[in-house]
Amino acid sequence: MALVLEAHNLHRIYETQAGLTHALRGVSLEVEQGEFLAIMGPSGSGKSTLMNLLGCLDTPTSGQYFLEGVDVAHYEDDELAEVRATRLGFVFQAFNLLPRASVMRNVMLPLIYTSCPHKERDQRARAALASVSLGEEFYQHKSNELSGGQMQRVAIARALVNNPALILADEPTGNLDTATGEMVLATFNRLKNEGHTIVLITHDSEVAAHADRIVSIRDGRLHDSEDTKELV
C-alpha cells in the first residue's frame, strides 16, 4: 500500500518570552493510503503542533515531511496554501462553517479558490453531502440552522469536496454529545472503508478506539502504536 505521508525526525521549536519551547522532539510517522490513524495525547503533549505540521499550517524547525512523496516541510507560504487547498481536508471541533451561508455554499467554498467550473462545484458538493448522509432537504439551510451533528457532517463534506489525499480531524467530536459523536465517528469509518485516509487528533481513548491504529504523543514524542482491536 502506498504511503500518503511520511514524517522523519520532525522538531518544532518556538521562541517565547520565557525562552525556547521544544514542542516536537524527533517525531517520525508513516500513514498508508486508506488508513484511519488516531493520534492521542493530553493537552500540551504536542498533538496540535503535530497536526499543524501535517496540515501544512506550519513548518518544522527541522526534519522532513513527505506528502504523497513530495517533501513539503520547507515550502513557502503560497506553496503551502496550494497544498492545503488541493490535497488536504480539515475537520475541526468548532466546525468552522460560515454561519449565514447555506450548506451548499459552505461545502463548495474550497472549490471557489480553484478553477473548478460552477456546475462541477455543485455536482461535487452534492456528492460530498450524499457521502456523509445529509438529506437534500438541508442543502439550502444556513449552517446555523443545523444541529451540531449536522454541522459536523457538513464540515466533513467540505473536507471531502476536493478529493484530498489526507483528511485531518482535530477533536471532531469535542462539541458533540456521545450519541451524535458516535454517528460522526461512524461516518469516518465509512469513509475509511471507501478508501479515504484519515488522521484524527484526540485526547479521548474511546474516540481513538474507532481508528485502525493509535499512536500516543507525550512531551513532544510519539510512542508505540496500539492495535485498536486490543482496546475494545
Residues in the chain: 232
Which tens digits make up the pLDDT trace of 170-197?
A: 999 999 999 999 999 999 999 999 999 9
Q: Counting beta carbons within 10 angstroms of the beta carbon of residue 176, is it exposed (0 to 12), middle (13 to 18) or buried (19 or more)?
A: buried
Which tens digits make up the pLDDT trace of 98-157?
A: 999 999 999 999 998 788 898 999 999 999 999 999 999 999 999 999 999 999 999 999
Q: According to the model, what pLDDT value does residue 131 have?
A: 92
* 68, pLDDT greater than 90: yes
Longest Cα pair distance anywhere in the chain, in angstroms?
54
d(CA 189, CA 36): 8
Q: According to the model, what pLDDT value does residue 17 have?
A: 83
- Which whole-number Å values give the CA distances from 142 to 101, 103, 162, in the listed order? 5, 6, 21
Of all residues in the chain, the percent with pLDDT exceeding 90 is 88
pTM: predicted TM-score of the whole model, two decimal places: 0.91
Q: Which of 66, 53, 85 has its CA nearest to residue 2?
A: 66
User: Radius of gyration over alpha carbons of the chain, in Å?
Assistant: 18
How is residue 148 annotated by DSSP? Answer: H
The answer to whether the CB of 223 falls within 8 A of the CB of 216 is yes
**How many H-runs (helices) and E-runs (strands) does the chain carry?**
7, 10
The answer to whether the CB of 187 falls within 8 A of the CB of 133 is yes
The answer to whether the CB of 27 falls within 8 A of the CB of 222 is yes
Q: Counting beta carbons within 10 angstroms of the beta carbon of residue 64, is it exposed (0 to 12), middle (13 to 18) or buried (19 or more)?
A: middle
How is residue 78 annotated by DSSP? Answer: H
The answer to whether the CB of 73 falls within 8 A of the CB of 25 is no
Transcribe 159-219 into DSSP letters: HHTT--SEEEEESTTTTS-HHHHHHHHHHHHHHHHTT--EEEEES-HHHHTTSSEEEEEET
Q: What are the extents of the domains in the chain? A: 3-25+32-230
> Could you tell me the three cell numbers for 35?
488508513
The answer to whether the CB of 219 falls within 8 A of the CB of 25 is yes
User: Domain spanning 3-25+32-230 has what CATH number?
Assistant: 3.40.50.300
* 231, pLDDT greater than 80: no
* 1, pLDDT greater than 80: no
d(CA 130, CA 125): 9
